[in-house]
Amino acid sequence: LETSIARFGEAPSIVVHNAGWAYPSKSGLEVTTEEFDRVFDVNVKSVYIASKILVPEMKKNGPGSIIVISSENVFRPGDNQTWYSASKAAVSLATKSLALEFAKDQLRFNTVCPTSGNTPLLSTFAGDANGLVTEEIIRAKGAAIPIGRIAEPSDVANAALFLADPASSLISGAEIRVDGAHSV
């Protein structure tokens, strides 16, 4: 916030919350307390803290768009990702609540809900905590998605760009699925 104000003279009018963390796939009862705390701290609490700091400043400047990167797990819980799925559901519902609360201030809140993506997090969902995304993992995950491939970072970025654009000025409280029909 301070950097934006120093550089541009005001708070940002567009914010993308893109923090995310997941533990290696396992039963919800095998997740440690530390993993549980971290998944909620990174995936939910970070959005709370950023909103608490940014929204009051954004309200001063008029129309704004806050985009939260969530997950298709909001609609289709991930196998052996109980608490990750719960954290993404929490942040998606909070985003809808914020959309209602701040619509009068011309602040729009939306979520982008991607399927498995070509990022280091993909190896974690595949049960490999080393962060290496192999062609084998990409093929296996892509085969489970009706459109036949995983999400690329540009797929998620394009959805966020749409939600940031004034052309989407009446869209608030939406969950944009970027999942190749995986959660249908």
Which of 23, 84, 102, 125 is the catalytic position? 84
Write down the H helix ranges in the chain.
Answer: 2-8, 33-40, 46-61, 82-102, 121-125, 135-143, 153-164
**Distance separating alpha carbons of residues 15 and 30, to the nearest angstrom:** 35
Q: CA–CA distance from 42 to each of 35, 58, 103, 144 (Å)?
A: 10, 22, 26, 27
**Distance separating alpha carbons of residues 129 and 139, to the nearest angstrom:** 18
Which residue type does 20 have? G
In terms of DSSP bridges, do strands 64-69 and 14-17 run parallel, antiparallel, or are they unpaired?
parallel
**Distance separating alpha carbons of residues 173 and 66, to the nearest angstrom:** 10
Q: Is 23 a catalytic residue?
A: no
**Distance separating alpha carbons of residues 5 and 20, to the nearest angstrom:** 26
Task: Write out the DSSP string of 148-178.
Answer: SSPBPHHHHHHHHHHHHSGGGTT--S-EEEE
Active site residues: 84
